[in-house]
Amino acid sequence: MRPTLPGLLLACLAATMPPGCSNQPAQNSQAAGGATPARGQRAAAVESNPSKPHPAGPHRTPAAAGSRSRQLSKAAPPKPHPKAPAGPAPKAERVQRRQTAQQSAAALRAGTERPPGTEQQVGREQQAGGEQQVAAEHERGAAGEGEAAGRDSNALARLLLFTPEGPLLVELEITVDGRPFRTARQELIDHLMRAADADGNGRVFWDELFDNTWQALGRAPEAVLLGMSRKDFLRSYDLNQNRQVDADEAERLVARVDDAGSAFSVSGTTRFRGSNLYQSAVRALADANSDGLLGATEMEMLPARLMSRDANDDGLVALDELASPGSLMAAADDGGYPPAAFDCTPQGRFDSIYYRLAEMVEAASGLPAEAFGSFPELHAALDKKDASGLVTQDELQGLAEAAAPLVVACRFSEASPALELAEATALRRAGATIQTPSLQVLVRTSTWQVRFLLDDAPLGYDPTQQVEGLMALVDTDRNGYLTAEELRVRPGGLPEFKVLDRDGDERLYPKELRAYYEMLVAPLLTGVHVTAADDRDALFALMDSNGDGRLGAAELAHCVSVLQSLDQDGDTAVDASEIPATITATFSRGRGTARSRPPLAVLPGRPPAPARTPSWFLHMDFNRDGVVTPREFLGTPEQFSQLDVDGDRAISASEANRLDAGP
């Protein structure tokens, strides 16, 4: 047989495999495409790495995992991550990579490709040892380079944000509890497949999944069916109609559960573009003489006027307390406006981006530089292949790899969430200012401001409290565990005892219950969502420095200087044209926008209270603005002064902590 290029590469690379790989489980039946053994190996690698916390809890059976491999149809050659720099990989490999990249780009658009993150993970595991096919091999190379460059491509995403002056390309580095976000979601999908594969034959049929929904997803079959009949459901979800659960189908399912969303999604509207300056309720309130200008006296009077609208008497001013009656009604209607941001990862809809840009300049056969507004370098980067001056729809795909002027790092974590600036040199050179208050990145030019905000409260409840409540309710003999008899009532839609009792010892301890709840919320906790939308009221957004949607005492005290800083032409008055348009891009998990928050949840823009913050303080802070004011305080004025060490008439969490840590 004539040696093929892949075969040659195989031979070369086999010779260069690092030692210690031979203990990898054998790669059994190669299905079409190189991803099959990779997936089995990845599962094995995950299994054999006990330090990695598994989202689904301690119920894996390590023995079975390694011997299974998953047959996945339509596993087209995976696409390398766009950001992997062309480092030390051999040239042949680069050529091959480019070819497979083009193939998989086509496959991606056909909707049958798995996301790049999975391939990268495969590559990493294979570094620990494993066999290779070409597809897997260049992944390893790419992944190795990615790591060498210091960024795990499983953690990368990007979006295109439409500022009033043009599209801003933003790259994101996102981790969940320290791990790349795609990893977390992929592990969940792996768990789902393993749990559903009841007969252990490496293939998961949809019927098998429906028989094992409790183990796989922690939900009843009806919840998984999303209200449809099985037939309708399969018509929608079994994309290739082969009655098996393929990787992409599993992903779609997990994304639909609880409206968790896929691993990365973007939404938001430009509904208030422009109107948030001219119809700003704050501006109307401040402009006492209705002459369109905010003069010095009007600015001075604004804090008192704002406070006079605190209708629910909670010490904070929210936008609805200020909004005019008509705008209260209008706020409900949200349809028909173009989005403010688009997903720019390889899964993004580049045709939508193209149309959006094209309609702004009425372009016919390609996008000229003016479509990109004040970001001409983006146009140049996309057009560089043929330098024709027009960016075609194909060239627009380059958005997935072009250099981004802004890189933001987003870390979801219960204890220490963070939103940080990673890179903004190009923006700074162009004259933008960047500020990074806690959990925010603020990018500001003279005409617009974008606020990136971390708002991580995906659950409407606290799983620990849920478990405690359940134990208190059901554990009638108070012996610290539940028996099948005690759980006979099964409150709150819990599954059967034997499903919960993973270790089969006929006792249900709180940790097993907690594992169940964690599995229940795992889809939500692994679906990163960015909502980028114009703020309803630009002035309000500018004054709301912590981004929680309410103006507190500190922000009100500061609002006069915020207004003064807007005056650009030095006439000490601010008119509507001097107010920058504001956009807020909120990072959250799960797509549910109207999710209710547990009473003491983290609020947007505010880091969680220090871990040891006493519960009495959290409850005394009635309006949850982070401090206890004299109005909220329970005790004598002397006790207040003793606690208020810095004398700012507000007791902070750290001042409360000092008391507890005291003598």
Partner 1 sequence: MFHGKPGRQLVESETMSGRLACAWLYAAFVSAAACAHAALPDEHAMAQRVDAWLAAGWERAGVLPAPPADDATFLRRVTLDLTGLIPTAFQVQAFLADTSPDKRSRLIDELLASPAHANHLANLWLHMLIPQDALSQQRESARALQAYLRLAIADNRRYDVLVADLLTATGDARDAPAVLFYTSRDLKAEELAAATSRLFLGLHLECAQCHDHPFDRWKQRDFWGLAAFFARVRRPAGPMGAAQRLIDAETGEVTLPDSNQAATPAFPGSATAVSATDPNRRRLLALWMVSRDNPYFARAAVNRVWAQLFGRGLVEPIDDLAEHNPPSHPELLAELAAYFVASGYDLRALYRALANSRAYQLSSKVGTVHPPPELFASMALKPMRAEQLFDCLVRATRRPLAYAPSGELPGSGDRLRDAFVARFQSALVRPGEFAAGIPQVLTLMNGTLVQELTSPESSGLLQALEAPYLDDAQRIDLLTLSVLSRWPTHDERAGWLAYLAEGAPSDRRQRLADILWAQVNSVEFIFNH
Answer whether 538's CB lies under 8 Å from 581's CB.
Answer: yes
Among 549, 552, 580, 626, binds partner 1 (CB under 8 A): 549
Least distance to partner 1, CB of residue 532, Å: 16
Residue ranges of E strands in 117-222: 156-163, 166-176, 179-180
- Is residue 641 at the binding interface for partner 1, with CB under 8 A as the rule? no
C-alpha span between 247 and 72 (Å, rounded): 7
**Backbone phi, psi, residue 521, to 5°:** -95, 0
Determine how many CB atoms are found less than 10 A away from the CB of residue 312. 10
Least distance to partner 1, CB of residue 219, Å: 23
Which amino acid would we find at residue 313? Answer: D
Among 181, 354, 516, 633, binds partner 1 (CB under 8 A): 633
Least distance to partner 1, CB of residue 289, Å: 12
Q: Largest Cα–Cα distance in the chain? A: 92
Of 384-392, 399-407, 546-554, 563-571, the window that binds partner 1 (rule: CB under 8 A) is 546-554
- Is residue 284 at the binding interface for partner 1, with CB under 8 A as the rule? no
**Comparison of 157 and 603: residue with beta carbon closer to partner 1:** 603
- Is residue 7 at the binding interface for partner 1, with CB under 8 A as the rule? no
C-alpha span between 584 and 320 (Å, rounded): 18
**Backbone phi, psi, residue 583, to 5°:** -130, 140
How many residues of this chain interact with partner 1, rule: CB under 8 A? 52
Scan residues 554-613 and list those touching partner 1 (CB under 8 A).
596-597, 599-601, 603
Of 110-118, 268-276, 358-366, 635-643, the window that binds partner 1 (rule: CB under 8 A) is 635-643
Answer whether 84's CB lies under 8 Å from 142's CB.
Answer: yes
- Is residue 278 at the binding interface for partner 1, with CB under 8 A as the rule? no
- Is residue 271 at the binding interface for partner 1, with CB under 8 A as the rule? no
Determine how many CB atoms are found less than 10 A away from the CB of residue 188. 27
Among 63, 332, 364, 387, binds partner 1 (CB under 8 A): 332
- Is residue 330 at the binding interface for partner 1, with CB under 8 A as the rule? yes
**Backbone phi, psi, residue 20, to 5°:** 80, 15
Among 4, 28, 99, 312, binds partner 1 (CB under 8 A): 312
Which amino acid would we find at residue 516? Answer: Y
Among 313, 415, 429, 493, binds partner 1 (CB under 8 A): 313
C-alpha span between 432 and 453 (Å, rounded): 18
**Comparison of 254 and 459: residue with beta carbon closer to partner 1:** 459
Least distance to partner 1, CB of residue 93, Å: 51
Among 76, 266, 277, 319, binds partner 1 (CB under 8 A): 319
C-alpha span between 564 and 611 (Å, rounded): 38
Which amino acid would we find at residue 403? Answer: A
**Comparison of 312 and 425: residue with beta carbon closer to partner 1:** 312
**Comparison of 86 and 616: residue with beta carbon closer to partner 1:** 616
C-alpha span between 211 and 554 (Å, rounded): 56
Scan residues 177-206 and list those touching partner 1 (CB under 8 A).
none
Among 635, 646, 649, 658, binds partner 1 (CB under 8 A): 635
- Is residue 626 at the binding interface for partner 1, with CB under 8 A as the rule? no
Instruction: Report residue 384 CA to chain centroid gap.
Output: 32
- Is residue 453 at the binding interface for partner 1, with CB under 8 A as the rule? no
Instruction: Report residue 77 CA to chain centroid gap.
Output: 27
Tokens in use for 197? 């594969």
- Is residue 321 at the binding interface for partner 1, with CB under 8 A as the rule? yes
Angle in degrees, CA 241, 247, 250, rounded to 5: 80
DSSP state of 165: T
**Comparison of 282 and 500: residue with beta carbon closer to partner 1:** 282
- Cα 315 to Cα 256, 308, 539, 618, 630: the distances in Å are 39, 10, 19, 16, 11
- Is residue 624 at the binding interface for partner 1, with CB under 8 A as the rule? yes
Residues near partner 1 (CB under 8 A): 308-314, 316-321, 323-326, 328-330, 332, 548-550, 596-597, 599-601, 603, 614-620, 622-624, 630-636, 639, 642-643, 659-660
